[in-house]
Structure 1
Amino acid sequence: MGQAQSDEKRAPPSHEELAKELANKFAEKCFTPLELYSFKEVFKNLADQEQTVRYLKEDTIARYLEIPDALGASPVLFQMMSYLGAFPFLRDAPAVLGVEQMVIVITIMTERYQRVLAKGATDRRKLLFKSLAVYDRKLTEITRSEDDQVSNKGDGFAVDAAGDDEGDDDADELVLAALDSMDYINAITYGNAPTINGAIIPTDNWRRLLMLLLLIAPLNPQESLSWYSNRIVGGGLESLRATADCILASFVEAEAAPRIKFTRFNDVIPASLPYIFNGLAPLFEHFLFAKDLDFHKRRDEKPVSSTLPPEVVQPLLQDTGSIMDLNLMSQLSFFIPGESLFRRLRLLYSGDEDGFSMGSFESKVFNWRAPTILLVSGTRLPHGNEYKTKGAEAGFLSTLPSKRFPSGSHGSDQKLTFGVYLKHPWKHTHRECFGDEDTVLFQLQPIHDVFRASKGNKDYASFMKPSPSTPIGGVAFGCPPPQPTQAYRRANVFALGPVSLVLDSSFEFGCFQHHYTSHGGAFQPSIARKFDFDDRFEISSIEVWGCGGDAEAKHQAERWAWEAREAEARRRINLGTGDIEADRALLEMAGLIGGNRSGGSMM
């Protein structure tokens, strides 16, 4: 009886006690013994101390992770860490980053929490948003006023309405799962985080983090970030910022509403940037690897790094192109798995080097048996009745539907970059298009946007050279192939799909259409731009990159060699000798007739 009364009077555990218990559970379940030992060594060497408290400071973390000062991202990253360090009692943020707090931060940043919180959500998007957000009520009211003004314009981006975040469930599933794992689920009543209502991310903070995420996208766990410092030398920093601004444009039109709300953040990332935070895992795993730890050295030997020097590491991008660069490749890795891109891309076709023709395109690309990425860039054609077209431009515009939507972004004569990711090999289109549900149509500049393939309509990709039966020809995505009975075929007009990209047969002009109010297309409409638009442009560059390694390149070379031998065999055949049977036997030996091949008339 006395023991029962004692239990009833026992005070509930404090936030500090519960957070420490969770950190111990994470350390035990999520780290190996060697990783845990290395982490403790790293923390001991880096930590400052005030009285009995040992902790990490912002500049210490920035130096250890080698975050370049030029990015200005260290304060943003430290804000995130200070917030996450208070998990699961986020109302107590910002936290002092002691050893238990750093265990929690690393576990969340590397997504290792999934090993412990099996019942919780694996999606940390909401938690990361809160770690970046500010909760200034005055700023929130200004943002709502700006949202209303932009909405009343009736054009531009679809902006979240003022009350979109109201009613949001404040209890994060990860928080609930963490407390449930310790059998203290009732602690949520006094341990929940600030509500997400009114939370906004300042645009400049998000831009700085985007630049860091682009830089660390190709990072491996034990690679030094300083190896990629050449990407921000000279004009590299401006190029990195320009790429970040294209991604930023999918979240907010910075001049009209320079703050990001959760609804837009939560919509855009899973649709267009599902892998954007992947680089955080290898970055924070640096804390789990002591750089001076070597079990094979004697005590009196100097530490030897086990990582390879940068000069012996394979380059991220072996070939050079006029469109593809390291920043754009990092941008692609935000929605195409990085293992298919970094150190794996080969330039198969470049209009600048190989000529702007479908024949050259076919000879360079068609034998590649692995996924490919087509990139096309150009300058938007002016839009307006006062603009007069002539020559080749007028001819191309005559092949498009007469009805034209507004442009997809502001600015005339603006540079545009579109692309397509295809898993299937390229081939000629006859009655049906090629491609599959993994085909991705996307825009990279001046706004980042991704259009996933639908399942009902399979008009993913087509390649048709001009001929008497297909007079306009070209390369198209999201458009039905021409059929003899269709009226547009007789009028030599492209049948644009609801979401589609068309390049003419001479690779001089292109058109991207986004008919948001239509349905049933091969590609899904934009999440960021919920309105009708089209962009017609003059092509300046076009490239096709192969995603593959030496095996794919060897197969392509063997195919090229076989085709060269076949062409030479055809050239050497000397017909017309008068001996029909001898000529037929020669053709059969060359594999040109026989079986299902008639070879045509010999007379």
Structure 2
Amino acid sequence: MGQAHSDEKRNVSHEELAKELANRFADKCFTPLELYSLKEVFKSLAEQEHQVRHLKEDTIARFLEIPDVLGVSPVLFQMMSYIGAFPFLQDAPAVLGLEQLVVVITVMTDRYKRVLAKGTTDRRKLLFKSLAVYDRTLSKTLTDKESSSKAEGDGGETSTTDKTPVSQPAAGFAIDTPGDDEDDIGVEGDDDLVLSAFDTLDIVNAFKHGNTPQNHGAMIPADNWRKLIMLLLLIAPLDPQESLSSYADRVADDELESLRTTADCILASFLDVESSPGIKFSRFNTVIPVLLPHIFDGLTPLFEHFLFSKDLNSDKHKDEPAGRSTLPPDVVQPLLQDKASIMNLGVLSQISFFIPGSSLFRKLRLLYSGDDDGFSMGSFETKVFNWRAPTILLVKGTRLPETNHRSTSAESAFLTTLPSRRFPPASAAAEETLTFGVYLSQPWKHTHRECFGDEETILFQLQPVHDVFPASAFNKDYASFIKPSASSPLGGISLGCPPPQQTQAYRRSSTISLGPVSLVLDSSFEYGCFTHNYASRGGAFQGSMARRFDFQERFEISSLEVWGCGGDDEAKHQAERWAWEAREAEARRKINLGTGDIEADRALLEMAGLIGGNRSGGSMM
């Protein structure tokens, strides 16, 4: 009987198996209320053709409130039509009926963890396939180019700074259908997408014999990926049931241009748009886990809109007129409470792609701004050191020219502190804007013999190329803060550099010891230097997964900011500390014991040991 049952399972059609799979997804991943709401939403949106009810592209875009200006609706619909055919991907694109929509929502939201055997890895592969297209001409061009680069001794994967010219510009994709490049993906087709909870369906055997197309050269068109990145930046802070239309101001005028600029920086991590027509899976699968692990998080609240029917509003009373509510509207806290020259909503969303947005949106507070507080280590210390929670430092500047440049005395003095050996800049663009940053989970403090920070420290670059350099578990030279002194003349902020060793005065070093992957800001916050020695190993931060070559960026600082990650408790503690320090400073400035004789009062304080010698006064409280 068992054998007969197995044979019967193998002989069922793809449609029956797909329907059974959707039912299993529904039972395992959705609550009864969510399923009821989904059916109600589908019923209200679906159109019927040839006795088949399904969703159209414009209907989905209108329901999810996708802004037309992004031009991303066709890309999103292509993804949904491909994923809706799962696990029989050779049948894509699928008609988006109710069963297909259940599969799409499961994969697009974090429910995928309950059904895909390899979780994030399987999902990433599915998302790539849903975005990829196939064109033999462009694939051959890219393959020939890579073969030529290897023959010339480039040694390794092409990077965003590949200088190899392209004989002809990309003319577009001739076949605009989902691709399936198995050689590039490096697996045995779709057989690798095994479902952990559905052995009884015998799905593995089903798509082993499903005639999976043997395409080679699948890639995501650069323009399609840019459009999707802009959407992902927009939805990054989206809360469950929050309307995307509430972010309409982010897709207009200067905000839209900022969104596009940020998307271009992220796109540069994957390819050089001047020379590459699209992104292959090997690049996609290498960059995303390290540089952008949370890039798809915003898809969960976006697609969960299908699970909330507008007819089910528990906030309304039965006797309340439609469209009215007795409850006061929620006070929406802004995503970013303070304004500054570097951090904006686009940059905040970009950072949330590698730092969970739950600790960023509506929780950042501007602690220090060089524009407002002055570019000095003393001001930095006063504003930042009292924050007892994680912080994000951002520094923005302009690349210093390599030649034919009259440097100032301050610039020359800084350059003389750097080692004589110098790597070339990452690109040939003169005076390009650069933005770097660091995330520190530990509070800032003065560096003496050891650096501070831990394995959660993240060094990163935001502009012109998005890049992330995770902390090493072996080298602990994460961060240092050193004020200039007789024993440490080379003060400043260093990330990834060993702290200066205490030596005799006449043997003081005049050169900064740079780490393999490091960022240095001088003590006056005028100049900085980022070093990426890819060939070296053993630094406090790991080398780039996107740019596998040596480079160094020397720049003049234009803006410097520190943002505190935390809530009201951290802000209250910092405010109390600032108030205490202000009272202390005021008390020390106005020493008065009430005798009327200032000299006598001072003599008494000196006898008490409160002032005099190395003391500047004590608390009068």
TM score, norm. by length of structure 2: 0.88
Assess if the C-alpha contact under 8 Å between 1:467 and 1:473 holds in 2: yes
1:506 maps to: 524
Alignment of 1:356 onto 2:354: no
Q: Structure 1 residues 307 and 525 mapped into 2: Cα distance closer, same or farther (>3 Å)?
A: farther
2:302 maps to: 283
2:445 maps to: 427
1:201-220 maps to which residues of 2 (within 5 A)?
201-220=220-239
1:84-99 maps to which residues of 2 (within 5 A)?
84-99=83-98
Assess if the C-alpha contact under 8 Å between 1:66 and 1:225 holds in 2: yes
Q: Structure 1 residues 488 and 394 mapped into 2: Cα distance closer, same or farther (>3 Å)?
A: farther
Q: Structure 1 residues 286 and 410 mapped into 2: Cα distance closer, same or farther (>3 Å)?
A: farther
- Work out the CA distance in 2 between the residues paired with 1:375 and 1:188: 49
* 1:258 aligned partner, one-letter code: P
546, 556, 559: which one aligns with 1:538: 556
2:242 maps to: 223
- Work out the CA distance in 2 between the residues paired with 1:194 and 1:304: 54
Assess if the C-alpha contact under 8 Å between 2:234 and 2:349 holds in 1: yes
- Work out the CA distance in 2 between the residues paired with 1:532 and 1:226: 44
- Work out the CA distance in 2 between the residues paired with 1:307 and 1:273: 39
Assess if the C-alpha contact under 8 Å between 1:316 and 1:326 holds in 2: yes
* 2:549 aligned partner, one-letter code: F
- Work out the CA distance in 1 between the residues paired with 2:69 and 2:562: 33
1:228-377 maps to which residues of 2 (within 5 A)?
228-295=247-314, 296-298=316-318, 301-303=321-323, 312-377=331-396
* 1:448 aligned partner, one-letter code: H
- Work out the CA distance in 2 between the residues paired with 1:9 and 1:549: 59
Deviation at 1:284, TM superposition (A): 0.1
1:488-503 maps to which residues of 2 (within 5 A)?
490-503=508-521
Assess if the C-alpha contact under 8 Å between 2:138 and 2:277 holds in 1: no
Q: Structure 1 residues 355 and 366 mapped into 2: Cα distance closer, same or farther (>3 Å)?
A: same
Tell which deviates more after alignment, 246-255 or 578-587: 578-587
* 1:399 aligned partner, one-letter code: T
1:587 maps to: 610
Deviation at 1:560, TM superposition (A): 1.3
Assess if the C-alpha contact under 8 Å between 1:55 and 1:97 holds in 2: yes
2:464 maps to: 446
Q: Structure 1 residues 207 and 277 mapped into 2: Cα distance closer, same or farther (>3 Å)?
A: same
* 1:528 aligned partner, one-letter code: A
Tell which deviates more after alignment, 327-336 or 573-582: 573-582
Assess if the C-alpha contact under 8 Å between 1:459 and 1:522 holds in 2: yes
Assess if the C-alpha contact under 8 Å between 2:447 and 2:481 holds in 1: yes
1:135 maps to: 134
| 1:391-419 C-alpha deviation (Å, 9 max, x unpaired) | 11111111111111111134111000000
Tell which deviates more after alignment, 183-192 or 263-272: 183-192
Deviation at 1:549, TM superposition (A): 1.5
Q: Structure 1 residues 142 and 179 mapped into 2: Cα distance closer, same or farther (>3 Å)?
A: farther
Deviation at 1:169, TM superposition (A): 3.4
* 1:219 aligned partner, one-letter code: L
Assess if the C-alpha contact under 8 Å between 2:160 and 2:270 holds in 1: no
119, 135, 139: which one aligns with 1:121: 119
Tell which deviates more after alignment, 569-578 or 86-95: 569-578
* 2:254 aligned partner, one-letter code: G
- Work out the CA distance in 2 between the residues paired with 1:86 and 1:209: 21
- Work out the CA distance in 1 between the residues paired with 2:321 and 2:575: 50
Deviation at 1:471, TM superposition (A): 1.0
| 1:479-530 C-alpha deviation (Å, 9 max, x unpaired) | 1111134999734111100000000111110000000111110000000000
* 2:364 aligned partner, one-letter code: L
1:456 maps to: 474
Deviation at 1:563, TM superposition (A): 2.0
TM score, norm. by length of structure 1: 0.90
Deviation at 1:29, TM superposition (A): 1.6
State the SS of the aligned residue for 1:220: coil
Assess if the C-alpha contact under 8 Å between 1:90 and 1:194 holds in 2: no
Deviation at 1:113, TM superposition (A): 3.2
State the SS of the aligned residue for 2:499: coil
| 1:173-194 C-alpha deviation (Å, 9 max, x unpaired) | 4345465363443213123754
Deviation at 1:46, TM superposition (A): 0.4
State the SS of the aligned residue for 1:451: strand
Tell which deviates more after alignment, 293-302 or 69-78: 293-302
Alignment of 1:168 onto 2:167: no
Q: Structure 1 residues 10 and 470 mapped into 2: Cα distance closer, same or farther (>3 Å)?
A: closer
Q: Structure 1 residues 332 and 5 mapped into 2: Cα distance closer, same or farther (>3 Å)?
A: closer
Deviation at 1:137, TM superposition (A): 2.2
2:172 maps to: none
State the SS of the aligned residue for 1:191: coil
2:496 maps to: 478
| 1:212-244 C-alpha deviation (Å, 9 max, x unpaired) | 000000001100000001001112221111100
Q: Structure 1 residues 525 and 120 mapped into 2: Cα distance closer, same or farther (>3 Å)?
A: closer
1:25 maps to: 24
Deviation at 1:301, TM superposition (A): 4.3
Deviation at 1:571, TM superposition (A): 3.7
Q: Structure 1 residues 195 and 249 mapped into 2: Cα distance closer, same or farther (>3 Å)?
A: farther
- Work out the CA distance in 2 between the residues paired with 1:444 and 1:166: 28
Q: Structure 1 residues 75 and 550 mapped into 2: Cα distance closer, same or farther (>3 Å)?
A: same
Assess if the C-alpha contact under 8 Å between 1:168 and 1:197 holds in 2: no
Root mean square deviation of aligned Cα: 3.1
Assess if the C-alpha contact under 8 Å between 2:485 and 2:491 holds in 1: yes
Assess if the C-alpha contact under 8 Å between 1:196 and 1:262 holds in 2: no
| 1:44-82 C-alpha deviation (Å, 9 max, x unpaired) | 000010121000000000000000011011010000000
Instruction: Note the residue ranges of structure 1 that are not aligned, 5 or more in a row.
Output: 598-603
Deviation at 1:567, TM superposition (A): 2.9
Tell which deviates more after alignment, 255-264 or 167-176: 167-176
Assess if the C-alpha contact under 8 Å between 1:380 and 1:412 holds in 2: yes
- Work out the CA distance in 1 between the residues paired with 2:234 and 2:531: 32
* 2:268 aligned partner, one-letter code: A
1:600 maps to: none
State the SS of the aligned residue for 1:534: strand
| Count of residue correspondences | 588
Assess if the C-alpha contact under 8 Å between 1:165 and 1:196 holds in 2: no
Tell which deviates more after alignment, 51-60 or 563-572: 563-572
2:169 maps to: none
Q: Structure 1 residues 456 and 27 mapped into 2: Cα distance closer, same or farther (>3 Å)?
A: same
- Work out the CA distance in 2 between the residues paired with 1:488 and 1:114: 62
* 1:131 aligned partner, one-letter code: S
Tell which deviates more after alignment, 295-304 or 277-286: 295-304
- Work out the CA distance in 2 between the residues paired with 1:261 and 1:486: 56
Deviation at 1:285, TM superposition (A): 0.1
State the SS of the aligned residue for 2:518: strand
- Work out the CA distance in 2 between the residues paired with 1:147 and 1:6: 51
Q: Structure 1 residues 300 and 476 mapped into 2: Cα distance closer, same or farther (>3 Å)?
A: closer
* 1:89 aligned partner, one-letter code: F
2:411 maps to: 393
Deviation at 1:147, TM superposition (A): 3.2
Assess if the C-alpha contact under 8 Å between 1:179 and 1:185 holds in 2: no
State the SS of the aligned residue for 1:165: helix
Q: Structure 1 residues 334 and 522 mapped into 2: Cα distance closer, same or farther (>3 Å)?
A: same
- Work out the CA distance in 1 between the residues paired with 2:394 and 2:370: 11
Alignment of 1:520 onto 2:538: yes
Assess if the C-alpha contact under 8 Å between 2:487 and 2:508 holds in 1: no
- Work out the CA distance in 2 between the residues paired with 1:282 and 1:307: 24
| 1:459-490 C-alpha deviation (Å, 9 max, x unpaired) | 10011111111112111100111113499973
* 2:354 aligned partner, one-letter code: F
1:49-68 maps to which residues of 2 (within 5 A)?
49-68=48-67
* 1:564 aligned partner, one-letter code: A
- Work out the CA distance in 1 between the residues paired with 2:531 and 2:506: 17
Q: Structure 1 residues 8 and 565 mapped into 2: Cα distance closer, same or farther (>3 Å)?
A: closer
